[in-house]
Structure 1
Amino acid sequence: LKSGQLDLIERPLATDLKDMRADSRLKVATVTELGYQGITINVGKGEASKNPLGQDKRVRQAFEAAIDRDALNQVVYNGEYTVGNQWVSPKIPWYQEKFPVPKRDIAKAKKLIQESGAKTPIAIDFMVPNNPETRQMAEVLQSMTAEAGFDLKVRVTEFATSLNEAEAGRYQAYALNWDG
């Protein structure tokens, strides 16, 4: 794009947008799209689901409470995204306002883990597709969730492989984007 070989690119990395906006030869257009980046948790497919995260909702609630979505957006995505918690952005009419984005609450996360009886640290096989933003997101989540008692074991895989692994149930948690 910068060399003039392309007229248009779609979905650049969030980390590239600042430089793109600073280049007077380029014009950046922003639209709200259907889509999300989420974490799928295996709660019933195969042996990989048989662990505290897959079997106890309190552990899943603790995992969610350990995540600071605003900080994740700032650190990994340079604040370029709208923080959400549903399959659509809070900017989309179908967003359910009665289920707001939860705030990080480490005390709540630790309490839920204690109530579950799970031994800490809770090891989690966290499968992520191999791209720079997703790897960085996984590393930030690894640090955040460790404070609550989780031990994310980040497993970077090629995208096609990750889809096959997910279909076969060979994951405990899986980071995945969906674009509508």
Structure 2
Amino acid sequence: MTEKCIDTTAFGLFFVALVSLPIALVSILGYADIDYGILAEDLGSFLMVSSVFILIAAIGAYKSNSNFGCTVFGLVAAGVFFAGWAGGSLYTNLALAIIYLAALAWSYMAKNTPVLTTILFTTALIFLFGGVSVAEDEGIWLLLKGIAALANFALALYLAFILVKEECEDCERSEQV
């Protein structure tokens, strides 16, 4: 067993996946007019608590001198907290979507992994579709938000596991030396 801490990016991605799945479920089932006991109101508190852990990932990235990680996880923490607290208006959700698209451009220019860049795209779509669904009385926009959140869940979880796997392999190599 190693005493090395988990990579802050993996830590943050696990929480991004954690919040994306219930958003996807509430959105997709809400579109289908099925609740299965899933209440959108319960989601708000969950998102606000989870945003604290995403903020911890931002602070960890800051301490690791990762400007990109600190900025993006800080933006995600703010967006997740806002989604939990206020639910969202069209204009705030659009502003968040635009800033995530700007982060996507930064990610591309920084030559980050395509999976990470795609996660920023799906995050932007969640807020874009969420804002439009509020303005347009949900409909198909709620389903699109759910699909984007489901993709975000899968991509974030995939990348988090890849990072943890690499970290574990590095630990095994260092223990063998």
Which structure dedicates a bigger proportion of its chain to helix?
A: 2
TM, length-normalised to structure 1: 0.24
Larger radius of gyration: 1
